[in-house]
Amino acid sequence: MDPVLTRYVREPNGHTLDFFLQHQGYEGLKKALAMKPGDVIEMVKASGLRGRGGAGFPTGLKWQFVLKDTPLPKYIACNADESEPGTFKDHVLMERNPHLVFEGCLIGCWAIGAKVAYIYIRGEFYHVQKVLEAELAKAYDKGYVGKNILGTGFDCDIVIHRGAGAYEAGEETALIESFEGKRAQPRIKPPFPAVSGIYNCPTAVNNVETLCNVPGIVLNGVEWYTSLGPDKNFGPKLYCVSGHVKKPGVYEATMKTTLRELIFDYAGGVRDGHRLKAVIPGGSSVPMLLPDQLDIPASFDDVAKAGSMLGSAAIIVMDETTCMVWVAKNLMYFYRHESCGKCTPCREGGDWLYKILTRLENGEGSMRDIDLIASVAGNIAGKTLCPFGDAAAAPALTTVKNFRSEFEDHVREGRCTVPSDWRGWRVAAGAH
């Protein structure tokens, strides 16, 4: 498949407005503005576009939920708080194709009747914000954003808001809280953002990649879109392949592509002389898959069937030099640090898990600790307000489930038994 979203990312000036206009830029917006908003929503619904942020919720349905009859203003919130470990697709889109993001936002606003789209960008994306702002100013100058867009009488502003850098702000209600200037902590749902979002007004929160899919659907039609990919998982998809592969990077493919193809064809396979040990298919929050589970299409539904989640499509590849206890500890360090602290299980359990895993990894643990990890992680999962709890529990749960012998080796030997050449620099006391 020819790349759609990332086609021009390697062009030196691919991110500029002039280049964008030469390559069908804002054509989708022109076409959308000629349609009725309801028809745009119908079109997106018919295309089967699913949210690219992780949950895979149908975008058209989400837009339809944004209340139609309300005196309140409506908003599009573009979720650019890309913080999931292993994920770097929105980063590419925003830096190399910013106008596609704007176009998606504008079409979304037209469809739901919003006058403002807020792009909530991650705190650490300082350099990306510079690019976005420069290009947004150009789009304002040329009349693609702002008052009376393209002479149609449609007014729509785009505002770029940079957060303070919190993983939790990527959760849609926490994003809204953070956007409003509060602590990035999730709200109780219901009411969902479609009913009560930014400033308690109806809000559609969409991922950057999701919105980037919209112009193509409007421009090329539903049939073109549904021809890409298997049933219910249509359209181009960005995969972030990282870890022990020869060519890590962002790859665009349809969701027919299998995980094995993505790892071995697109990313060049694992390093020479090494063999695959485990794959995290959708960012650090999802359960791992083993090498024999990779011959499935990398689609939302098929990965879910295999017992994991496509999530943000961040494929983290680990070869046999990876110590799974260390993986669990490393990821737990992240989740302990990023927990917002609202719900008891996640706040207290995350810290506890990290302490147990550190002890195990240092070879000071006991066999009892292994069961304790499974028990504590199980007690976090599903007990929290937002999916963070499940995410925080996943690394510990799947490593213990799939690689229990490694945990036992750590206890028995009092050190790491995995040939961890790439961690040779780390000669600190303990196993690693």
Q: Which two tokens stand for residue 412?
A: 């028995």
Phi, psi of 182 (to 5 degrees): -100, -175
Cβ proximity to another protein: between 92 and 166 the closer is: 166
Q: Could you tell me which stretch among 39-47, 247-255, 305-313, 350-358 binds another protein (CB under 8 A)?
A: 350-358
Q: Look at residues 73, 99, 107 and name the one whose alpha carbon lies nearest to residue 196.
A: 73
Q: Which two tokens stand for residue 425?
A: 């620099």
Q: Could you tell me which stretch among 27-35, 292-300, 314-322, 349-357 binds another protein (CB under 8 A)?
A: 349-357
What residues numbered 368-427 form the site for another protein, per CB under 8 A?
A: 372, 375-376, 379, 382-385
If one asks whether residue 341 binds another protein (CB under 8 A), the answer comes out as yes
Interacting residues of 236 by C-beta distance below 8 A, sequence separation 6+: 1, 3, 4, 5, 213, 216, 228, 229, 252, 253, 254
The distance of closest approach from Cβ of residue 250 to another protein in the complex, given in angstroms and rounded to an integer, is 29
Q: Which helix (H) or strand (E) holds 159?
A: strand 154-162
Interacting residues of 337 by C-beta distance below 8 A, sequence separation 6+: none
C-alpha span between 34 and 22 (Å, rounded): 21
The strand ranges marked E within 199-301 are: 203-207, 236-243, 249-254, 276-280
If one asks whether residue 24 binds another protein (CB under 8 A), the answer comes out as no
What residues numbered 177-196 form the site for another protein, per CB under 8 A?
A: 183, 188
Alpha-helical (H) ranges within 262-318 are: 300-305
Placement of tokens 């090329």 in the chain: 220
C-alpha span between 76 and 108 (Å, rounded): 7
Placement of tokens 């076409």 in the chain: 31
Question: Partners of 335 in the beta sheet?
Answer: none
The distance of closest approach from Cβ of residue 185 to another protein in the complex, given in angstroms and rounded to an integer, is 8
The distance of closest approach from Cβ of residue 397 to another protein in the complex, given in angstroms and rounded to an integer, is 14
- Please state, in angstroms and as integers, the Cα–Cα distance from residue 369 to each residue in 71, 248, 346, 375, 425, following that order: 56, 35, 19, 10, 28
What residues numbered 278-337 form the site for another protein, per CB under 8 A?
A: 336-337
Cβ proximity to another protein: between 171 and 209 the closer is: 171
If one asks whether residue 27 binds another protein (CB under 8 A), the answer comes out as no
Cβ proximity to another protein: between 382 and 414 the closer is: 382
Cβ proximity to another protein: between 287 and 345 the closer is: 345
Candidates 347, 357, 406, 411: give the one binding another protein (CB under 8 A).
347
Question: Partners of 121 in the beta sheet?
Answer: 80, 162
Q: Could you tell me which stretch among 72-80, 111-119, 225-233, 339-347 binds another protein (CB under 8 A)?
A: 339-347
Candidates 305, 355, 401, 426: give the one binding another protein (CB under 8 A).
355
Cβ proximity to another protein: between 35 and 372 the closer is: 372
DSSP β-ladder status, 75-80 and 314-319: unpaired
Number of residues this chain uses to bind another protein (CB under 8 A): 28
Interacting residues of 311 by C-beta distance below 8 A, sequence separation 6+: 54, 84, 281, 282, 283, 285, 286
The distance of closest approach from Cβ of residue 91 to another protein in the complex, given in angstroms and rounded to an integer, is 23
Pattern 4-23, another protein, x by CB under 8 A: --------------------
C-alpha span between 187 and 193 (Å, rounded): 10
Candidates 338, 361, 406, 409: give the one binding another protein (CB under 8 A).
338
Question: Partners of 278 in the beta sheet?
Answer: 318
Q: Which amino acid is at 313?
A: A
The distance of closest approach from Cβ of residue 347 to another protein in the complex, given in angstroms and rounded to an integer, is 6
Interacting residues of 190 by C-beta distance below 8 A, sequence separation 6+: none
CA-based end-to-end distance of the chain = 43
Cβ proximity to another protein: between 46 and 195 the closer is: 195
If one asks whether residue 256 binds another protein (CB under 8 A), the answer comes out as no
Q: What is the CA radius of gyration of the chain?
A: 22
The distance of closest approach from Cβ of residue 162 to another protein in the complex, given in angstroms and rounded to an integer, is 18
If one asks whether residue 115 binds another protein (CB under 8 A), the answer comes out as no
If one asks whether residue 344 binds another protein (CB under 8 A), the answer comes out as yes
If one asks whether residue 166 binds another protein (CB under 8 A), the answer comes out as yes
Cβ proximity to another protein: between 297 and 350 the closer is: 350
Pattern 124-163, another protein, x by CB under 8 A: ----------------------------------------
List of residues contacting another protein (CB under 8 A) = 166, 183, 188, 336-345, 347-352, 355, 372, 375-376, 379, 382-385
